[in-house]
């Protein structure tokens, strides 16, 4: 029986982008799902970028062949990355 997707999976626990990506692949990629209207849902690794709204500076489009090895090696805590980005955006430059 193909599972229906009616709500997000429960119990995702992650610290780094690499852990989030690993769980995304384990839970969603390569599995068969149906929406409540019996329409097949196919999830590929490249959908990770859309679900996480991944962004590098102004870049929002990515190639999974290039980015996957980088994602798998990103073990820094996500909130550390967020704090650094927030600190940079709050920096005032005197002119």
| Most distant CA pair in the chain, distance | 64
* Structural domain total, the chain: 1
Q: What pLDDT, in 10s, does the model give residues 41-63?
A: 889 999 998 888 888 888 888 89
Is 95 part of a structural domain of the chain? no
DSSP, res 15: S
- Distance CA(19)–CA(63), nearest Å, equals 19
pTM for this entry: 0.66
Q: What pLDDT, in 10s, does the model give residues 13-49?
A: 778 889 889 988 998 898 888 888 888 988 999 999 8
Distances (CA, A) of 48 to 57, 67, 79, 83, 89: 17, 11, 19, 22, 25
Q: Are 20 and 52 in contact (CB under 8 A)?
A: yes
- For residue 10, the enclosing domain spans 1-75
């Amino acid at each position: 029986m193909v599972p229906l997707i009616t709500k997000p999976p429960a119990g995702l626990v992650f610290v780094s982008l690499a852990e989030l990506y690993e769980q995304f692949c384990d839970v969603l990629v390569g599995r068969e799902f149906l929406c409540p209207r019996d329409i097949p849902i196919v999830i590929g690794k490249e959908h990770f970028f859309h679900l996480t709204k991944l962004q590098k500076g102004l870049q929002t489009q990515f190639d999974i062949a290039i980015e996957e090895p980088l994602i798998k090696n990103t073990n820094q805590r996500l909130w550390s990355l967020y704090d650094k980005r927030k600190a940079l955006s709050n920096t005032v430059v005197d002119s």
